[in-house]
Each structure stands twice: as structure tokens, then as C-alpha cells.
Amino acid sequence: MRVLRPDDWDEWYGKVQLAFGGVPESAEERALWNDLTEYDRFIGAWDGTECVGTAGAFTFGITVPGGASVRAAGVTMVSVASTHRRRGVLTSMMRRQLDDVRSWGEPLAVLTASEPAIYGRFGYGIATQQLRAEIDTTRVRLSVPDGTDDVRLRLVKPDAPDVRDACEAVYARQVPTRPGMLERRPGWERLPLLDPESDRKGTSPLQCVLARRGDEVVGYARYFNKPDWDAAGPTGAIELRDLEALDPAAYAALWRHLFGIDLTATVKTYNRPLDDAWQHLVSDNRRCDVAPRDSLHVRLVDVGAALEARTYQTPVDVVFEVEDAFCPWNAGRWRLTGDPKGASCARTDDPADLSLSVRELGAAYLGGASLTSLAAAGRVRELRQGALAEVSPAFASVVAPWLPHGF
Ligand SMILES: CC(=O)SCCNC(=O)CCNC(=O)[C@H](O)C(C)(C)COP(=O)(O)OP(=O)(O)OC[C@H]1O[C@@H](n2cnc3c(N)ncnc32)[C@H](O)[C@@H]1OP(=O)(O)O
């Protein structure tokens, strides 16, 4: 196993693609991932001259409760050749990678999983959910707040540099407001604009609508239009890629636009926050067919630094007994004291109040899964009566944590 060299990339990436089914990717997408590769943070396993395992770790800043951006390794492109599976190659790569992440001083590793059953054994917990919805816009009505009519909407070319920059500026203002959001480092602004013709499956090219109040851009939506017809008339769908807005009126104006596009009958979303506000604007939530799914998996690589990096909704003073078989440097007792302003976390010999594995800490870290709910599943144990009721609300987040895009 060794880090990747630029001349390895074609073979290495070819192996990633093969493990995901072997369907060739567009030149546009391939070029993006090539440009985003961080060679000293990407590894491969070789059997002789053949690459049989791949894994990468992007450099990310991720928002945590309280609004700080915390360094995280964005684990990506994990694959093992089908000829070499179930022999421990993944386990060896996870070992190497988590040791590396620790040596880089990054308190968190994060990933989205092809299958959620893979990463729990390595200490990852499911920290955010994403909401899918299929809204019947022929039946569901929107009621919008005051000020919505003051927002002007314009259809624009999504990749025009001024449009791209305006959207990125709106996105950047949103990042600190929601745990789980990623700072978009240079180059990553290309990801939400990816639109290879080969991936369209009957949809239009990517469309973009900008929301303005006066001269200020206050929101945007990017989506595809998929026209369709049956004997009775048009049944097209709007497939939303992303939507960000700086205030409720801009947000409602964008959703009203999506609902009202002629010749369409459905708005489909694949990745929205669990608490997305449109759910409070609709007349009939049963016709919105919402469903949650796991999204970001979080692993605390340095328990002390990670717990210190976020704030807590209510004052908290707790001793955790942490189990961590894969990264034993985290195992043992930690005292966390914190409040909405900050926190400290250090080793202690004091008796523990709650016992749990690092996986549950990962699930609760961004305020997604509640410790109370994990305790009801038997995955958090209360060793001092009353500790759960004190600590669980402290870990909550004001807004649902959410990862806006994969990687
Ligand atoms: C962040 C990302 O990139 S997610 C993408 C993950 N990659 C893919 O899904 C591509 C297709 N799949 C693969 O490439 C491989 O099958 C991998 C990477 C999932 C697994 O690689 P392997 O080298 O076979 O895993 P390894 O032999 O180390 O298995 C370790 C353990 O995980 C288990 N495991 C491996 N894959 C899976 C799975 N898909 N679901 C459930 N358990 C799994 C193994 O059974 C083994 O369990 P054990 O220790 O109890 O025996």
C-alpha cells in the first residue's frame, strides 16, 4: 500500500470505476475528480503491478454545532477489486487511512457510504440524514410568507462566471448556519455544475434561477426539467439539484417557481435537509411522499479535539466511557464540559456517567441522532441516573445537520 503518484491515476481511477459497475464516466466528470485528487492523501493497494484497492481523503472543513469549521478527512473512492474482496484489503486501507488522519491532526473523518453496513465496524456513525421527496404539484399548494412578491427571479446560465460566483457567495453564507455543510474549497464549485450529456436520461441541461431583492442575489435553485406526456396531457417533472436562500421570502419565491413551471406535475428532490422549510408551506404533506435516508457518516478520530470543537445547546458536564477497538487511542474515560459558548474535553479517572462506543459519538456529534434514542436501542448506557436527560439535549442542533452534496 502506498500513496498515489500522478502517473498512477488512470489505472487507479479505472479500478474505482470498475468496482462501481464499470460504466464509463464522462470526460467532464473524470477531469473534475482528477483535478480534485490530493495525491499525498490518496492511497492504493497493489498486488504486484496491479492496483487492487483504492481510497482517498479530501481536505474538508465541516460545520459543527456552534458554527465552527472543523478539519475533516473526506473519505472517498473506496474500492477493492472483485478478485480480491473479503480478504481484508478494505480493513488494511481503513487502518492506514485512520492512522494517517490522526497524524495530520484532523479530528474527524467523514464519508457517504455506497452501503450503510460497511463502515460501522471502523467506528463511523450515521450523523446526518437526507430527505427525498416527490411532490404532486398538481394537487399540493404552497402558501408563501409576506415579501415573497418582492423577490425577482431570472433564468440564467448556471455556468456563467458571474452566476456561478453569485451562487457560491450565497452558499458560503449558508455554510456556518448548518452543521454538516462543507466549505467549498477552490475547484469544488465545479461539482454542482457538473452536467454531462450522457447522464441526463431525458432531462434538460441544468437550469438555474437566481433570486434577487434589489441588486442583491438572495438565493438560487438549480434543477433539471424532465418533460413527459400521457394521454391526458403533460406530466413532466422538475428534478431539483440544489436550492439555497438567505431569507424566508427568497426561499418561498424559489419553491413557488419550481411548483409553477408549466407542463410539469411533480417536483422531485433527492437530497434536502430533514427540516427543510417547504414542508411547512405545503397544503398537503401526504402528497409529498417524503423519505429519509442515511447521508454523512462521521468518525471521531480524536475524541477530545472533536468534542471540544463544537458547542453545546445547554450546559453539560459529563464523563463518557468510550469504547473504540479500531482506534484504541480514543478508548477510556473523557470529561466533557461545555455550553453554548465553548467546551473542553480531557482524559479523566473520574467515574463515568455514560458509556458508549465511538460510533454512537459519531452519530450524535452533529446533533443528528439523539443520545436518548441511541440509549433506547441499548447503544448508550446510563451509569449515573439522570445523566442522559442532562446530556442528550446538550448535543442537539438548532437545525437538522445536513450534507448538501456527495464527494
Ligand atoms: C466512502 C466510499 O467510497 S463508499 C464505497 C465503497 N465501495 C464500494 O461499494 C465498491 C464495491 N465494493 C468494494 O469495493 C468492496 O467490496 C468493499 C470496499 C466494500 C469491501 O472490501 P473488502 O476488501 O472485501 O473488505 P474486507 O475484506 O476488508 O472486509 C472487512 C469486513 O467488512 C465486511 N464487509 C465488506 N463489504 C461489506 C458490505 N458491502 N456490506 C457489509 N459488510 C461488508 C466483510 O464481510 C468483513 O467482515 P468481517 O471482518 O466480519 O469478516
Residue 386 pLDDT level (bands cut at 50, 70, 90): very high
User: Domains of the chain: which residue ranges?
Assistant: 2-129, 131-292, 303-394
User: Out of 3.40.50.720, 3.40.50.300, 3.40.50.1110, 3.30.1050.10, which CATH number does the structure's domain 303-394 have?
Assistant: 3.30.1050.10
ipTM: 0.98
From the CA of 273, how far away is ligand 1's center (Å)? 28
Residue 179 pLDDT level (bands cut at 50, 70, 90): very high
Tell if the pTM clears 0.95, that is, is over it: yes
Residues belonging to the binding site for acetyl-CoA are 78-80, 86-91, 114-115
Residue pLDDT, tens place only, 387-406: 999 999 999 999 999 999 99
Q: For the purposes of burial, counting CB atoms within 10 Å of the CB of 272, is it exposed (0-12), middle (13-18) or buried (19 or more)?
A: buried
Percentage of the residues of the chain whose pLDDT score is greater than 70? 100
**What local confidence, expressed as pLDDT, does residue 11 receive?**
97
Q: Which residues participate in catalysis according to the annotation? A: 119, 407
Residue pLDDT, tens place only, 192-249: 999 999 999 999 999 999 999 999 999 999 999 999 999 999 999 999 999 999 999 9
Q: Which atom of ligand 1 is closest in space to residue 111's alpha carbon?
A: 1
- Quick check: do 2-129 and 131-292 share a fold? yes
Residue 51 pLDDT level (bands cut at 50, 70, 90): very high
Specify whether domain 2-129 bears CATH 3.40.630.30: yes
Pocket of ligand 1, beta carbon within 6 A: 19-20, 75-80, 85-91, 111, 113-115, 117-118, 121
Q: Which CATH class is domain 131-292?
A: alpha beta
From the CA of 92, how far away is ligand 1's center (Å)? 11
Q: Which atom of ligand 1 is closest in space to residue 112's alpha carbon?
A: 1
Q: By alpha-carbon position, which residue is closest to atom 36 of ligand 1?
A: 118
Q: By alpha-carbon position, which residue is closest to atom 43 of ligand 1?
A: 118
